[in-house]
Structure 1
Amino acid sequence: MLNNASILGFNKNKIYLATLLGILSAPAFANETVNDPTESAPAENKGLEVIQVSAQKRVESIQDVPITISAFGEADIEKMGIQNANDLGLITPGLETNNATATQTTFNIRGITTNDMGIGLDAAVAVYIDGVYVGRRGTSNLNFNDVERVEVLKGPQGTLFGRNAAAGAIHIITKAPTDDDEGAIRFTIGSHNKRKVEVSANTQIDEEWSFRGSFNSNHRGGYLDIKDSHEQYGNQRDWSARAALLWNAAADLDVIFRADWNDTNQQARPAITLNTGFGNGDPFAPIEFDFEGKETREAGGISAEVNYYKDGLTFTSITAYRQFTRYNAMEDDGSAFERAYFESLLDEDQSQFSQEFRVSSEQGDFKWTAGTTFFYEDIDQDVVANFNTLSFDSLAAVQLGLDPRMVPNMPVGQGVAGAYMTLGPAQAQQAIALEIQRRMMSGMSFDDAQSSVGMELVGANINKLFGQHEERFYHAATTASIAAYFDGTYAVTEKMDVTLGLRYTYDDKNFKLFSEPQNSYIVPYQGADGNVVGEVPLAVAFQPEDAQQEESWDKWTPRFVVDYKWTDTFMTFISYAEGFKSGGFNGVGIAPPVKEETVVNTEVGIKSSWLDNRIRFNISAYDYQYKNLQQLELFGAPIPTYNLRNVDAEGEGFDIETIVQITPDLILTANYGKTIAEYTKWDFFEGETLSDSRVGEPISGMPENQGNLRLDYYFEGLNGQFNAHVSYAFTGDRTQGVEGPTLAIMPFEPGTVTGLNADNHIEGYSLVNARVSWQSDNHPIYAALFISNALDEKYLLQTGGQAMALGSPIATPGLPRMFGIEFGMEF
């Protein structure tokens, strides 16, 4: 039982009881008029729009799918101004995004995510585009371009979506070619020099061929003031193109060829130091930096989807190739302070090939899908850490447990001896320690001996000390994965369906890592052997490594669901599902492979429509046990590096989604997500003690409470149709980064930083967005006014970072108020 659950009055027994009571009471409350046999049309055709989804590899009404799923159609995407998958976190209960960068994204579903920035692990949330897996962090968050709908599937999807869908899946479905000749163009102009152009066109070439293409160009200026500059930081620069060719080869055969491309070239995520000695310490003050971050990405792919229909069966083949390159250069210390200089560079190149064959039947009482998949990936990554050797003063202060805010007042080099005593080869460390000991024996105090040795080291290395220190780590990996699956739904009665699914997955991975020192320093002292040490290699962030590792993992993942339709518009379900994510490798040092992740999830839910589909109410409650969650953490000294450990966790919670058509012109949408997740087992790194355990603590990065309220009002005016849309989104407090690695003394006063609470957790925040659009009745023209973060809420996206080792935790603020106008036409 979770500790927080009892405090807040929630526990899994109460959650399940509440949901089961709803199930048992369903017949008493179901709307009888909906089931009147004299009705000439289904309820879904009368009130609210019902989105068709493909969560079970077949097209179904979202209300008929016994899976907790949030779906957004083209109209939702347009009226809410959704730009990419990152925007879904504000409006989807159980999904957390909060990504400050386009190319290093993390998606968190119900508390489960993968926070590894390297290539040794896969993501726990699978992202698909038109049935093709694109789960790598570098390319999983592309701008939406000509998208038909987006589906967010919550909970393990190990049977139908396979590997790396242990937490859930996000499926983006783009628009397919049709036999219509149509097109559209749209322009956006807004604050912060926002400029965007969107173009799409569809045409029927002949009776067999149709084509659809689209283009999207997006530019926006920065939003953070730069100290002593008229410029602003945090711009956007990207464009994307998409094309699809439909071939109706025969009455029973069609083929869709797809291609897409994205090019991103913009400033990297902002970083602002919280150390009041290195900078202002206010994450919303003008930003300072001595290195301007940058991120670039070129990503694209091609695919061919073949569908053949024969004797009630559908045979499908999806063949795809995708690739991307990305480059991230990030300011890590968030300041312009020379003695805290720290930047990191990441250069990554990936290609993948995938093939899926499946056959499905939707006839009679037994609907089923069976298939096989093959996936191969080749990826390499080069990681570079750059910092000024003067940063050793900051490093030493942190290692000695001193207040990092005192570093600006320290004499240059005072911390060098203490830092060097923990760096480089053992003989160098020993020689420095012996020299300090000799001077203490001659009557000097320890502080004076260390300071004098430090100044001599500064003098001996003066030509190196004021330059940049660079270290490199190279990784390369290949993954080959095969799987076979079956999922079938049998109608036991007219009202009750039973679904059974099973998948077998086998992953084989090869991993290579290599690093060697790029720098050296001089130790002019005698070692234990009586000889002067002289020049020695210096490695701080990455120790010398050269290794080739290989491992394989396999897993059977079942799914069992029972759903019961009490009426045509009231369904309840109970499900058991397992998920699997194969193990992986530590990207910054030789270590045994981490174990595979497994999750067991049980869930009950209600999906219902009322009053001729003018009210929709869905609720689900879940409980999961997670084994071997792969946790990336900063650990070690003198400069902590990212390391992997396996931990266990458990979680419980519920999601509620409801839509009410108050009048024919007024629609209210509300959702709420409750997630209580905590660690239940902790594997220790060498040197850790029981006091380092986080058992019983909340899982980092996921708020316990999320909510969203949306209002849409439709009215006529100016010879056209208006839609006024207002959205209110709330995200609760969450832990992240700033509490680890541990600093003996925080470089700011807890509770004084805007966006952090007294426990140094990221504070919850609320955002209000609004949009008013107008569509002409007489002409194919469109216009809209929009504003995001209307109340100009100040909130944080991220905190922590590698520069904690230098006493410089950073913060990344969220976007301020932005507004603009859209206009366009259809043809």
Structure 2
Amino acid sequence: MKNNTIKLSLLSAAVLVALQSQSAFAQEEVVEQEEVVEQVKKKQKVETITITSQKRIERLIDVPISVTNVGHEELKQRGVKKLQDVSEIAPNISMTGGKNFNAKITIRGVGANSRNIGFDSRVGVYIDGVYLGQSPAVNQGLVDLERVEVLRGPQGTLFGKNTIAGAINLISQEPTDEFEGSVNINAGSNNLREYNLKLNLPLSDTTAAKVFLNKSEEDGYMKNTYLNTKPGGQDSLAGRVNLISELSDNLRLSFSGDYSKQDLTAFSDMGMTPIFGGTGHPFDGMLEAIYGDVLGGTADSKYENYQDRDVFEDITIWGSSLTLDYDMDNDFAFKSITAYRDTNIDTAIDSDHSYVDWLHTPYTDAYQQTSQEFQLISPDGRDFKYILGAYLFSLDSTTVRAAIGGPEIAWAGIDPSSPVVSIDGKVDTSSYALFSNGSYDLSEDLVLGFGVRYSSETKAVDWSIDGDNSGGFKMGTAHLVDERTDTHLSPSLNINYSLSENSQTYARVSTGFKSGGYNLDFVSNEVIEDGIDFDKETVTSYELGYKAELMDYSLRLNASLFYAAYEDYQVNQYIELVGGTTALSITNAAEVLTQGFELEVDYQMTDNFNISGSLGLLDATFDSFIGGGANGSDASGNQLPNAPKVAASLSLQYYQEVAALSSSIMYRVDYNYTGEQYFLVNNDDGYTVPSTGETVDFDKAESFSMVNARISLLTDSGDWEVSLWGRNLTDSDHLTNSFKEFFGGIIGAYAKPRTYGIEAKFNF
């Protein structure tokens, strides 16, 4: 009832404020801007990109931020299906695959997953200005989008929800005033079957809607030889409705609603060692004597395991938003965004990663969030332009988790009739922020930009853990009721200098923060005694950039140098306990430094041949993290997890006209290179099993390359198109994840093997 009241009151406030505005909706100015852009496009070979990352229609080269823009056509040409695929395009961004439960997005070496309801992510993902929420909700299907904008560095003065590392902005295609639609069918390896339907429905002279439905099924690409199953598959259903209505000359309403249901047999991390890491632990010897080899995986294949349980994920996500836009008589604009999001996930992990029914851990997490954002936007065409914003955010998070022992755990002196560990708790988060950003034209060529954000975030926690039945694993027992509030003032300043009409340089200093929280996971008594709360972190970021469209608009360049210093950086990691087992810990590292270089190039060599590419150089390290490594070792100087020093991409695209078929053929190849990286704070180069002397993959991933390709036959009329596609054509089997599980065994996961298929689209 409380949530419904909040939602209704926020919605009512938005509508009342909007209806009280005595303004006229100045459509003429927007139309004039779009006409100017179209005129420019006709005179060039590389399309001039316009984006709205700063809440205005601007040329990409005029925006003093490191931004990657991926438009609708490029998304289609690359065959991009999910948010994770964008990491192959933008420099210095990565996203872990496999389980959505703990999906992690990293920008410039900095990121986090939110598998813990007391721990927030660092990269914000937004769709049409609405924050999507925690890790289970972010790996969205990228369908019916106008473009994707990836903004690197702190962006708290541009978006309602605070984002300390960067933001990914998903912008939907708006409905039009014509009836049209399309049917898309995609079939491929692993018995992939994907169908989607898109309809654009003009409902009246002033109202139009767009409806999108998607159904996707795919078999798994791994093999569980114990259960004779194929993990790695998925079955999902998704739908989205967008509606736009010009209610009057001065009032524009946008409504969107979406729903998705995903049932996954997740990409299962495999046990690479005996349950206890082959350390000679008595239980390893005892279990091997009874059951034989207790490896969770197999040395014969990176895609086979031997477990009594498959990992599953059942995720339900839905939400809606209402946006009201106005232009006042004095040319000011007002925007209100009211939104509600709901995410639920059920998952269970085989914690021993073996065929022995030793331990599994089910999780049920739920997130319900309400947000309200107001923006006042000053007129364009003036020397002084600015945006004033206010943001209200409420998030109710709940978790129910347990470690459930099977009959064999009785060998450890633990009662299998009761949970080994049980967790039940909630965190209620409420925050508000006031933010502003703007610019002042000092001269025709020199622009001064500014921004400031004041944030206040309160987290109230009521959480219990019962580890009395955990025996020698020494899991904690506690009941925590607490509340903490973090506030922060985050200013930014930039200067933009125009070298010519089509080339700009900029310098930017920005700051940000991430609120503190609580380590509400499987923790030990030792962790509880040290305190399960952690402090906020802050960042100061410096950036120099150059953007240009050269050679008669045939070449576009975006380059940036950056340096960022994070204070009290929050680190979520497995720590080793006495006896070789592990527990989850969140602590504040003293300082993290991340610095590097980014380059994006787009060259239209001929009318039919395009070359594009990117380069990311990165040095992201723990400048000071005393006692942060395994067994309390000093992690200072270690490389941040998921922060490769080098990442590069190269894309070739060619169109060939086929006059006899009134069609053309598009050939496209995308190459991606990722340098070596670590997955854990300790920066190990592998793990040697003490009992055998065998070295297994652990922590460090070697460099790898991947190639994707697509060939499309496109009719000149646009009625239909058909494509042959392939991903990971080199069949790279590089390591994608590695860590020590609860018992101390080494766990690993590898890239999805080569896939291929055929896709057809029919427009009407």
| TM above 0.5 | yes
- Give the deviation of 1:386 after TM superposition: 2.6
Could you tell me how far apart the structure 1 residues matched to 2:566 and 2:368 are? Answer: 30
1:345 aligned partner? 362
Could you tell me how far apart the structure 2 residues matched to 1:255 and 1:741 are? Answer: 54
Could you tell me how far apart the structure 1 residues matched to 2:309 and 2:630 are? Answer: 35
1:265 aligned partner? 263
- Give the deviation of 1:145 after TM superposition: 2.5
- Give the deviation of 1:41 after TM superposition: 5.2
Assess, with a 3 A threshold, how the Cα gap between structure 1 residues 749 and 740 changes in structure 2: closer, same or farther: farther
- Which residue of 606, 611, 614 maps to 2:554? 614
Assess, with a 3 A threshold, how the Cα gap between structure 1 residues 43 and 173 changes in structure 2: closer, same or farther: closer
1:561 aligned partner? 494
- Which residue of 501, 506, 524 maps to 2:451? 501
Assess, with a 3 A threshold, how the Cα gap between structure 1 residues 44 and 388 changes in structure 2: closer, same or farther: farther
Q: Does 1:573 align with 2:506?
A: yes
Which amino acid is the alignment partner of residue 101 of structure 2?
T
- Give the deviation of 1:541 after TM superposition: 6.4
SS at match of 2:614: strand
- Which residue of 389, 394, 397 maps to 1:379? 397
Q: Does 1:802 align with 2:741?
A: yes
Could you tell me how far apart the structure 1 residues matched to 2:610 and 2:701 are? Answer: 33
Q: Does 1:332 align with 2:357?
A: no
Which amino acid is the alignment partner of residue 566 of structure 1?
L
- Give the deviation of 1:582 after TM superposition: 0.7
SS at match of 1:79: helix
1:292 aligned partner? 310
Could you tell me how far apart the structure 2 residues matched to 1:559 and 1:142 are? Answer: 30
Q: Does 1:669 align with 2:612?
A: yes
Could you tell me how far apart the structure 2 residues matched to 1:742 and 1:663 are? Answer: 46
2:34 aligned partner? none
2:586 aligned partner? 644
The number of residue pairs the alignment matches comes to: 694
Could you tell me how far apart the structure 2 residues matched to 1:541 and 1:707 are? Answer: 45
Q: Does 1:705 align with 2:721?
A: no
SS at match of 2:678: coil
Assess, with a 3 A threshold, how the Cα gap between structure 1 residues 64 and 286 changes in structure 2: closer, same or farther: same
Which amino acid is the alignment partner of residue 534 of structure 2?
V
TM-score by length of 1: 0.80
Mapping of residues 319-718 of structure 1, within 5 Å: 319-337=338-356, 341-361=358-378, 362-388=380-406, 390=408, 416=412, 464=415, 470-517=420-467, 519=469, 538=471, 540=473, 542-588=475-521, 590=528, 591=531, 593-635=533-575, 636-638=577-579, 639-647=581-589, 648-682=591-625, 684=627, 689=632, 692-717=633-658, 718=661
Moved more, 83-92 or 562-571: 83-92
- Which residue of 169, 173, 176 maps to 1:175? 173
2:319 aligned partner? 301
Could you tell me how far apart the structure 2 residues matched to 1:225 and 1:686 are? Answer: 34
Moved more, 670-679 or 90-99: 90-99
> Could you say which structure has the larger radius of gyration?
1
TM-score by length of 2: 0.86
Deviations 1:758-816 (A, max 9, x none): x851112111000011211246111100011111111121111424x34x211111110
Superposed CA RMSD in Å reads: 2.5
- Which residue of 765, 774, 779 maps to 2:713? 774
Assess, with a 3 A threshold, how the Cα gap between structure 1 residues 264 and 686 changes in structure 2: closer, same or farther: closer
For the 8 Å contact 1:268–1:294, the answer to whether it is kept is yes
Question: Which has the bigger relative contact order, CA under 8 A and spacing at least 6?
Answer: 1
For the 8 Å contact 1:616–1:658, the answer to whether it is kept is yes
For the 8 Å contact 1:116–1:632, the answer to whether it is kept is no
Q: Does 1:250 align with 2:248?
A: yes
Assess, with a 3 A threshold, how the Cα gap between structure 1 residues 213 and 45 changes in structure 2: closer, same or farther: farther
- Give the deviation of 1:619 after TM superposition: 0.6
Assess, with a 3 A threshold, how the Cα gap between structure 1 residues 748 and 782 changes in structure 2: closer, same or farther: farther
Deviations 1:486-539 (A, max 9, x none): 1111111111111011110010111121122474xxxxxxxxxxxxxxxxx848
Q: Does 1:129 align with 2:62?
A: no
Could you tell me how far apart the structure 1 residues matched to 2:700 and 2:61 are? Answer: 37
- Give the deviation of 1:108 after TM superposition: 0.5
- Give the deviation of 1:312 after TM superposition: 1.2
Which amino acid is the alignment partner of residue 266 of structure 1?
L
- Which residue of 140, 149, 157 maps to 2:155? 157
For the 8 Å contact 1:43–1:612, the answer to whether it is kept is no
Could you tell me how far apart the structure 2 residues matched to 1:97 and 1:778 are? Answer: 38
Assess, with a 3 A threshold, how the Cα gap between structure 1 residues 113 and 178 changes in structure 2: closer, same or farther: same
1:208 aligned partner? 206
For the 8 Å contact 1:264–1:296, the answer to whether it is kept is yes
Could you tell me how far apart the structure 1 residues matched to 2:721 and 2:686 are? Answer: 55
Could you tell me how far apart the structure 1 residues matched to 2:630 and 2:702 are? Answer: 32
Could you tell me how far apart the structure 2 residues matched to 1:810 and 1:743 are? Answer: 12
For the 8 Å contact 2:101–2:115, the answer to whether it is kept is no
2:724 aligned partner? 785
Could you tell me how far apart the structure 1 residues matched to 2:448 and 2:458 are? Answer: 34
Deviations 1:273-314 (A, max 9, x none): 111653324561522111121101110111100001112111
Which amino acid is the alignment partner of residue 444 of structure 2?
E
Unaligned runs of 5+ in 2: 1-36, 275-292
Could you tell me how far apart the structure 2 residues matched to 1:160 and 1:195 are? Answer: 39
Could you tell me how far apart the structure 2 residues matched to 1:545 and 1:703 are? Answer: 39
Could you tell me how far apart the structure 2 residues matched to 1:788 and 1:226 are? Answer: 24
Assess, with a 3 A threshold, how the Cα gap between structure 1 residues 550 and 637 changes in structure 2: closer, same or farther: farther
Could you tell me how far apart the structure 2 residues matched to 1:622 and 1:486 are? Answer: 23
Assess, with a 3 A threshold, how the Cα gap between structure 1 residues 750 and 247 changes in structure 2: closer, same or farther: farther
For the 8 Å contact 2:113–2:120, the answer to whether it is kept is no
Moved more, 359-368 or 506-515: 359-368
Assess, with a 3 A threshold, how the Cα gap between structure 1 residues 624 and 750 changes in structure 2: closer, same or farther: farther
For the 8 Å contact 1:122–1:164, the answer to whether it is kept is no
Which amino acid is the alignment partner of residue 56 of structure 2?
R
SS at match of 2:112: coil
Could you tell me how far apart the structure 1 residues matched to 2:631 and 2:693 are? Answer: 25
For the 8 Å contact 2:516–2:537, the answer to whether it is kept is yes
Assess, with a 3 A threshold, how the Cα gap between structure 1 residues 701 and 140 changes in structure 2: closer, same or farther: same
For the 8 Å contact 2:573–2:681, the answer to whether it is kept is no
SS at match of 1:42: helix
Could you tell me how far apart the structure 1 residues matched to 2:45 and 2:693 are? Answer: 51
Which amino acid is the alignment partner of residue 321 of structure 2?
S
Deviations 1:639-659 (A, max 9, x none): 321111001211110100001
Could you tell me how far apart the structure 1 residues matched to 2:247 and 2:443 are? Answer: 39
- Give the deviation of 1:679 after TM superposition: 0.6
For the 8 Å contact 1:473–1:542, the answer to whether it is kept is no
Deviations 1:217-239 (A, max 9, x none): 11111111332676422101111
Assess, with a 3 A threshold, how the Cα gap between structure 1 residues 62 and 541 changes in structure 2: closer, same or farther: farther
Moved more, 311-320 or 323-332: 323-332
For the 8 Å contact 1:120–1:587, the answer to whether it is kept is yes
